[in-house]
Amino acid sequence: MSPLPPLLLLLLSLEPLGAALIRIPLRRARGAPNPLREWGQPGEPPRMGAPSPGNKSISVSLSNLLNVQYYGDIGLGTPPQIFSVVFDTGSSNLWVPSRRCLFFSLPCWFHHRFNPKASSSFKPNGTKFAIQYGTGRLSGILSEDKLTIGGVSGASVMFGEALWEPSLAFAASQFDGILGLGFPILAVGGVRPPLDALVDQGLLDKPVFSFYLNRDPEAASGGELVLGGVDPAHYVPPLIFLPVTLPAYWQISMERVTVGPGLTLCPRGCAAVLDTGTPVITGPSEDIQALNGALGGAPLPAGAIVFGGVRLCVSGFRGLDVPPPAGPLWILGDVFLGAHVAVFDRGDPRGGARVGLARARARGAGPDHAQAQFPGGGRPG
């Protein structure tokens, strides 16, 4: 048999072609507290719809708030009113501040506010909603309008107009609102999450997205969110997939955490959640204390852990005791995700939800000190 022509070999090795990724360069901001996260037990199982056919993907560039929060721009209404939102895998609702917000809701006055009278496609709903965050309770009313994201427009979404935002943490944040990328079971009020709306209306091929987070404080870009797939240029193979064990948060099983040759944590396995709304890595307080101690850290009165030397180094590990039944668990936030590309795949009727992890393209990061071990022999980091 004669060998195949080089061009045919190249074509056979390529993935099926889809729509080109849409990339949006965003500005970079600095300095903000993190008003998230409150962890709890999810409610009833979600009612999942079948994904729509197609082959589409969307990408949105991200800004990096001193490695505290990553956010990007979306539009709501016709013409689009632009908002900066955190793309949060730990929640499933979309909300932005409302022009009708309460007078004493201080965060509202420091951010862009949605004006329903300025949108020709606005549809009122009026149902009240409330979301509990780590810094307090956010409340408002539900409305419907067109979503623009990554250059793709026309999706009808139900979103929250925030009338009350809690605490000064939201006032000081650089983002206006939050776009949740969690499972439908987490959606307050039974609202269809934005990701599902894009798939249902044929604007996105499948409920898959990936994060590429740039933690270099000198870089102009904070990274990229890709809806509908993953950009192979973002990671170094292999891409290892792990099953989601709790289809609410993006929870997986972690076999162990090793710190050098002398310390092994969660030796019998433990639950871990990948969460873009958490800037650090958290775990049971006793484990985190042992981990920071093994790394040579010394506690400060404010609770931070610092390491010696001329340059101040603050630990990216924090103790957080999540009580049963939701916990105990580890939360792998942006400190972990910044070293990897994470693919979040909600699955379809033929297969369940899964998370893919691969080493992100090198950006001058230092050597690893702690390594997480996952089932299946894969150590993505």
Which CB contacts under 8 angstroms, 24+ apart, belong to 80-84? 80/146, 80/148, 80/153, 81/112, 81/114, 81/115, 81/118, 81/119, 82/112, 83/112, 83/114, 83/176, 83/177, 84/112, 84/174, 84/175, 84/176, 84/177
Annotated catalytic residue within 73, 145, 176, 275: 275
* Pairing of β 81-88 and β 177-180: parallel
Active site residue 88: yes
* Residue 331: other Cβ atoms inside 10 A: 25
Helix runs in 95-233, H state only: 167-172, 194-200
User: Rounded distance, CA 56 to CA 17, Å?
Assistant: 10
The rounded distance, in Å, linking the Cα atoms of 189 and 378 is: 38
196 labelled catalytic: no
The CA–CA distances, whole Å, from 347 to 239, 244, 247, 360 equal 16, 10, 10, 23
The conformation of residue 281, written as its DSSP 8-state character, comes to E
Classify residue 13 as exposed, middle or buried by CB count within 10 Å of its CB (0-12, 13-18, 19+): exposed
Cα distance between residue 302 and residue 13, in whole Å = 54
- Pairing state of beta strands 281-283 and 317-319? parallel
Name the token pair of 303: 């609770």
Identify residue 254 by its one-letter amino acid code. Answer: M
**Which backbone phi and psi does 108 adopt, to 5 degrees?**
-60, -35
**Residue 375 CB-density burial (10 A; 0-12 exposed, 13-18 middle, 19+ buried):** middle
Q: Which of 88, 196, 205, 345 is catalytic?
A: 88
Phi-psi group of 80: left, alpha or beta (phi > 0 → left; psi -120 to 50 → alpha; rest → beta): beta
Active site residues: 88, 275
